[in-house]
Chains A and B, each alone.
With several copies, the nearest count.
Chain A
Amino acid sequence: MFSSTGNPYFTAMPEDRMQFEITEGSAIKHPRYSGLLNAWTLSFVGALVAILYLVYSRPDPYWRILKFLPDGILVTFQVTTASIFFALLLGLLTGLGRVSGNRIVNVVASTYVEVVRGIPLLVQLFYVYYALGRYLQVPDMVAAVLAMSVCYGAYMGEIFRAGIQSIDKGQTEAARSLGFSKRQTMFLVILPQAWRTILPPVGNEFIMLLKDTSLVSILAVTDMLRRGREFASETFYYFETYTLIALIYLVITLLLSRGVAHMERRLSYD
């Protein structure tokens, strides 16, 4: 027997000049990846050049805006990192709860996930900040981080659950049969293996969280967007301010997403 499987290669047929085409190109090995790669470079370099150009060519609003933002950018990062930290903790607990054999723990964790994923983040932010504010006396930043963590904890929980469930059950059986308790099995055998599966989606959540911290600007937490809004409301440079802010977000998230892609590739290799 010689050939038995279909030919996995397909060739380009450049004869048609239609606008949208089915890819059949084989020249590029990973057309998807390299497509985005080029788009990445284009977007990143484009955003950077645009920022520099605007600041140099029209320093009047743009350099003023840029000078106005740094503490806001810092707050954005602070909220993001603090939130991701607590979201990870909460996500770990939730993930463990979701795979728990204990019916009650399981339902509690699942309900948390269902409820939190069913309510818009903005509503949760308002709720924690203003509504619960009456009963829970916390500073702004803490309220913002709390709301973000509770929300993202649910998503993280699903990531942890998937990561834990991706580990072969034979690992659990082997550990248990050696005499490890359930807890030891989880923390010594399952989780140390699961992090490879967990890390890349966590990276994506980090980026999403960074973007979503823009919502805290509504709570008078002076993040980057809030600073921009303040500037614009004073100077009426709405267009210029939002342009610059969008570009800065873009640069930051593109850098992060490159990092995540890099991590993903490294994890998938060895």
Chain B
Amino acid sequence: KDIVIASDATWPPMEMLDSSKKVVGFAPDLLQAIGKAAGFNPVIKNVAWDGIFAGLIAGKYDMVSSSVSITDERKNAMLFSEPYFEVKQAVIVQKGSGIKSAADLTGKTVGAQIGTTGYFAAKALKGVTAKTYDEVGLAIEDLYSGRINAVSCDDPVAANYALLQPEYSDKLEIAFILPSEEKEYYGFAFPKNKKGEENVALVNKGLAKIKADGTYDAIVKKWFSAK
């Protein structure tokens, strides 16, 4: 059985394109494992983030795996699988900017990808101008060229950009993690319909299986060993 999965492959290391234009990363590996465990074939499709949920609701694909944080608003609109990864919102700044905490961001401009929890978190900060980008990479690029003061995004992504990309790691750093009351988790999103419910069950089953047999940990180790 095929399940068509939408992924915005601009979110390294969670999901990204390799040079042969294949979607690779933590989530694709996870999906392969889940598929194997639960008995479906994941077909990953690279889709732009803005509108990825519109496409899901419109039935263009069966499921979204794109580092989607589970939020209450989103839960109103779609179904979610069990959480598969815990994230925090990290704030990246230019080295030497002196920004050390949320308070230092007052009066500053913070970039984030449109419709991400990073953007919602930035918007929630008092006295901060939140600016949206189609891709987080573009926000980082603007931070790099000095148009904005900070970027807020999921911590694995932030780590990838700020620490692993040689060009950026010279100039950028993770300043701090945004404090939050609730823990934030990634989940796979499904449309609110019968097929969606079936698929949620299927994926949850597979996810539970690989967590139990250690496959999950191996994949985490593969992608986040540098941390």
Give the residue name and chain of the A residue nearest to B58 (CB): A133
User: Are the CB atoms of A64 and B54 closer together than 8 Å?
Assistant: no
Q: Give Cα distance in the complex from A234 to B12, angstroms.
A: 8
User: Are the CB atoms of B77 and A236 closer together than 8 Å?
Assistant: yes
Smallest CB separation, B26 vs chain A (Å): 15
Interface size on A, residues (CB 8 A): 27
Subset of 15 A-B contacts with CB under 8 Å: A68-B19, A130-B58, A133-B54, A133-B58, A137-B146, A220-B48, A220-B111, A222-B46, A230-B21, A232-B137, A234-B17, A234-B115, A236-B77, A236-B167, A236-B168
User: Are the CB atoms of B132 and A220 closer together than 8 Å?
Assistant: yes
Q: Give Cα distance in the complex from A229 to B58, angstroms.
A: 17
Smallest CB separation, B5 vs chain A (Å): 14
Pick from B120, B132, B167 the residue with the most CB of A within 10 Å.
Answer: B132
Chain A interface (Cβ < 8 Å from any Cβ of B): 64, 68, 71, 126, 129-131, 133-134, 137, 139-140, 218-220, 222, 226-227, 229-236, 238
Contact partner, B114, options A71, A219, A233, Cβ 8 Å: A233
User: Are the CB atoms of A218 and B134 closer together than 8 Å?
Assistant: yes
Contact partner, A229, options B16, B55, B59, B135, Cβ 8 Å: B135
Give the residue name and chain of the B residue nearest to A239 (CB): B54
Interface size on B, residues (CB 8 A): 42
User: Are the CB atoms of A233 and B135 closer together than 8 Å?
Assistant: yes
- Residues of B contacting A140 in the complex (Cβ-Cβ under 8 angstroms): 60, 142, 147
Q: Give Cα distance in the complex from A219 to B111, angstroms.
A: 12
- Residues of A contacting B10 in the complex (Cβ-Cβ under 8 angstroms): 230, 233-234
B87 part of interface (Cβ distance < 8 Å): no
- Residues of B contacting A129 in the complex (Cβ-Cβ under 8 angstroms): 51
Pick from A140, A229, A230, A238 the residue with the most CB of B within 10 Å.
Answer: A230
User: Are the CB atoms of B134 and A139 closer together than 8 Å?
Assistant: no
Q: Give Cα distance in the complex from A226 to B60, angstroms.
A: 19
Task: Give residues 107-135 of B contacting A (CB, 8 Å).
Answer: 111, 114-115, 120, 131-135
Q: Give Cα distance in the complex from A68 to B19, angstroms.
A: 7
Give the residue name and chain of the A residue nearest to B139 (CB): A220
Q: Give Cα distance in the complex from A126 to B165, angstroms.
A: 22
- Residues of B contacting A126 in the complex (Cβ-Cβ under 8 angstroms): 51
Give the residue name and chain of the A residue nearest to B129 (CB): A222
Closest 8 CB pairs of A and B: A233-B115, A133-B58, A220-B48, A233-B137, A130-B54, A238-B54, A220-B47, A233-B10
Contact partner, A234, options B51, B55, B73, B139, Cβ 8 Å: B73
